[in-house]
Amino acid sequence: MLRKLFRLRTELGKFFGVGLMAYLVAVGGFNLLVHLDSAPLKSKPLTASILSGALSILVAYFGNRHWTWKERQRSGASREITLFFIINLISLSFTIICLAISRYILGFDSAVADNISANIIGVGIGTLFRFWSYRTIVFKPN
């Protein structure tokens, strides 16, 4: 297993680099929309998470297609984009579900609780799912 991880280091590094950029867009956008004093979506954290998540999906697609897996053969732009967005919508649902449980079931509504539930737990689960899905389904090996 360590050999396989060693061989994947470049791919993983690029994937996590792109992911970090997308993550900053998602977390930054969410906090700007919900947790500033004059935040426009202060009372709508799920909507804010969906909007910031959608923008981060665009960042992730372009970064992964044109950097992480640029050498992989294209399998048709419409197929690739469709699968990428379906996978990311599933991943975004992990974030929304974790945030909804924290907010509406457990009753936690602080900025710290929102960020732990959505942007650490939800994104963490989604990241594992995305990496596996991108490399096996969307950007197939040559």
- List, as one string, the DSSP characters of 86-113: HHHHHHHHHHHHHHHIIIIIS---SHHH
- 3-state DSSP of 50-84: HHHHHHHHHHHHHHHHHHHCCCCCCCCHHHHHHHH
Query: How many structural domains compose the chain?
Result: 1
Task: Give tens-digit pLDDT for 90-137.
Answer: 999 999 999 999 999 999 999 999 999 999 999 999 989 988 898 888
Overall pTM surpassing 0.85 (yes/no): no
Name the residue range of residue 37's domain: 2-138
CA–CA gap between residue 117 and residue 132 (Å, rounded): 22
